[in-house]
């Protein structure tokens, strides 16, 4: 009788579902998730903790969604050249590439679209990736950013969801404004990035005609151990040039690989593209002196408040001769850091430190740094062993010893390269949104900085995509965000979508 009752209960659940817990997000192990919006941090503004198991699981699952194409940035072009420092910044950092004016460092660069697939047109509206690998005598250093100085989200825990919303639907296999505006209507901090992306900046005329940014702030450390927060900006010496939506349509009919072709032709013709590198600096004690949190990736560092200082120039003068080996196989990570540069507490950056290395191990294998394009100038010296495409124990002085400590081991640590110490007082482990969000002010400032023609193009581009959304409540929510950024901005979008004032009064 008892066995029959249990069977009936199980059968009943199979038919009706597990009512109350059906809508609860869980880990892959079935454990309920209490917060899917905020990573676990040391205090409100502190670094993200590795003990945030759900964050790590979520990012690790996301990193493995595509084989072998990159999950994001799958379509890209590459080139190599050199960076020449023009200013001695040793007062602020001991990073070898920035400590001597005139010093040259070899670089490899990959410029890319973000969301669309490997064979997609470069005429699509999309952020552009801007990744630079510096081959220094103290190891490889990567600045991995975008052509825009900000991003959609401030916390890496939202990154898989954001990309899912922008990728084609798992049901229809079509990229759909109904999906990504549904997501963005619940993410007000994306208003700034949306405002920039739907201007003509969303479709660069060629890769050499776009600027770049690290997006995140980093820590520079000098010889005395003093910390300065910095943000990088690449400024194209060719000028920033973009396509209107109408020009992009024409270009797509002529050649939808225009950005790759343009970059490659410029280098082949000897018109070597150049970018000046600028940094902005903030003292740790000044981080809280702004009306925004500088380590929030949705925020720009205004040049009128934080000076931009030119520190060098990058020149690209070599095209790849084997695309797969030099561009497809190149692996970047914001965690590829050298002495004198450390990550900041930026929540989105903290997640990327794990995610980028993890996706490269998945895509190229655990020994991806042994591929020629990813090798540092000096051969690595450590006791990592074996695995796919491993070069074996050739790097060991004693092939029998691949461990430490050992009486036979010759490799030792160098105390001068220990991570800098950070003092934390009265902190709590927390999982919540930062207090100083200020989601709309910079979006409004940017809108008002545009020319009338640029504003007209933004309204046309944005209302064209938002107009495809069938849920009027999502449209109204987005209009509300734009209105809070700038009254004229919101009202023009509302008018373009056919809304009147009375539609917002109930």
Residues with catalytic roles = 73, 146
**Residue 356 assigned as binding residue:** yes
CA-angle at 129, arms to 125 and 133, nearest 5°: 165
- For 161, other C-beta atoms within 10 Å of its C-beta total 17
Residue 223 structure tokens? 């010889």
From 439, 451, 428, select the one nearest 482 (Cα to Cα). Answer: 439
Q: At 104, which helix (H) or strand (E)? A: strand 104-113
Please state at what angle helix 472-485 crosses helix 487-496, rounded to 10 degrees: 150
- Return d(Cα 462, Cα 180) in angstroms, integer: 13
- Return d(Cα 294, Cα 286) in angstroms, integer: 10
Give the distance from CA 393 to its chain's centroid: 35
* 27: Cβ contacts below 8 Å, ≥ 6 apart: 33, 53, 54, 57
Read out DSSP for 258-320? HHHHHHHHHHHTT---EEEEEEEEE-GGGGGGSSS-TT-TT----TTTS--EEEEEEEEEE--
- Return d(Cα 328, Cα 319) in angstroms, integer: 14
Question: By the 8 A CB rule, do 142 and 332 touch?
Answer: yes
Please count the residues of the chain.
Answer: 506
Read out DSSP for 335-378? T---TTEEE-S-HHHHHHHHHHHHHHHHHH-TTGGGSGGG--SS
* 28: Cβ contacts below 8 Å, ≥ 6 apart: 57, 61
Question: By the 8 A CB rule, do 455 and 486 touch?
Answer: no
Residue positions forming the annotated binding site: 356
Residue positions forming the annotated binding site for heme: 356
């Amino acid at each position: 009788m008892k066995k029959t009752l249990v069977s009936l209960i199980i059968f009943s659940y199979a038919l009706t579902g597990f009512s109350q817990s059906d809508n609860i997000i869980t880990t892959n192990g079935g454990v309920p998730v209490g917060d899917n919006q905020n990573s676990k941090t040391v205090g409100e503004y502190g670094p993200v903790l590795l003990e945030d198991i759900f964050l790590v699981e979520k990012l690790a699952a996301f990193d493995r969604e595509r084989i072998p194409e990159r999950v994001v940035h799958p379509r890209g072009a590459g080139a190599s050249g050199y960076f020449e420092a023009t200013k001695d910044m040793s007062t602020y950092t001991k990073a070898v590439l920035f400590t001597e004016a005139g010093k040259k460092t070899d670089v490899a660069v990959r410029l890319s679209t973000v969301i669309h697939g490997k064979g997609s047109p470069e005429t699509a509206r999309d952020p552009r990736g801007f990744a630079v690998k510096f081959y220094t005598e103290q190891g490889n250093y990567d600045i991995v950013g975008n052509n825009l100085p900000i991003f959609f989200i401030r916390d890496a825990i939202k990154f898989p969801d954001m990309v899912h919303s922008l990728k084609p639907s798992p049901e229809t296999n079509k990229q759909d404004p109904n999906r990504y505006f549904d997501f963005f209507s619940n993410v007000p901090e994306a208003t700034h990035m949306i405002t920039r992306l739907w201007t003509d900046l969303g479709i660069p005329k060629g890769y050499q005609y776009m600027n770049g940014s690290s997006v995140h702030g980093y820590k520079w450390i000098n010889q005395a151990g003093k910390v300065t927060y910095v943000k990088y900006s690449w400024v194209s010496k060719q000028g920033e040039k973009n396509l209107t939506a109408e020009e992009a349509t024409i270009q797509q009919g002529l050649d939808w690989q225009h950005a790759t072709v343009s970059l490659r032709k410029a280098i082949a013709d000897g018109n070597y593209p150049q970018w000046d590198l600028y940094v902005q600096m903030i003292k740790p004690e000044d981080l809280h002196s702004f009306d925004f949190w500088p380590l929030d990736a949705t925020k720009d560092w205004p040049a009128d408040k934080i000076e931009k200082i030119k520190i060098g120039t990058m020149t690209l003068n070599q095209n790849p001769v084997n695309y797969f080996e030099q561009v497809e196989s190149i692996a970047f990570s914001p965690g590829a850091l050298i002495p004198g540069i450390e990550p900041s507490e930026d929540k989105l950056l903290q997640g990327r430190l794990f995610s980028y290395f993890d996706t490269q191990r998945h895509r190229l294998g655990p020994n991806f740094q042994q591929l020629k394009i990813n090798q540092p100038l000096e051969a690595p010296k450590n006791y990592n062993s074996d695995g796919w495409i491993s070069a074996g124990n050739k790097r060991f002085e004693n092939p029998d010893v691949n461990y430490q400590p050992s009486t036979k081991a010759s490799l030792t640590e160098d105390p001068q390269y220990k991570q800098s110490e950070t003092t934390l007082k009265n902190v709590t482990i927390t999982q919540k949104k930062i207090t100083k969000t200020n989601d709309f002010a910079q979006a409004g400032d940017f809108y008002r900085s545009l020319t009338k023609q640029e504003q007209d193009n933004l309204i046309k581009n944005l209302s064209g995509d938002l107009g495809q959304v069938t849920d009027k409540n999502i449209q109204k929510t987005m209009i509300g965000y734009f209105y809070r950024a700038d009254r004229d901005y919101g009202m023009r979008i509302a008018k373009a979508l056919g809304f009147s004032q009375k539609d917002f009064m109930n």
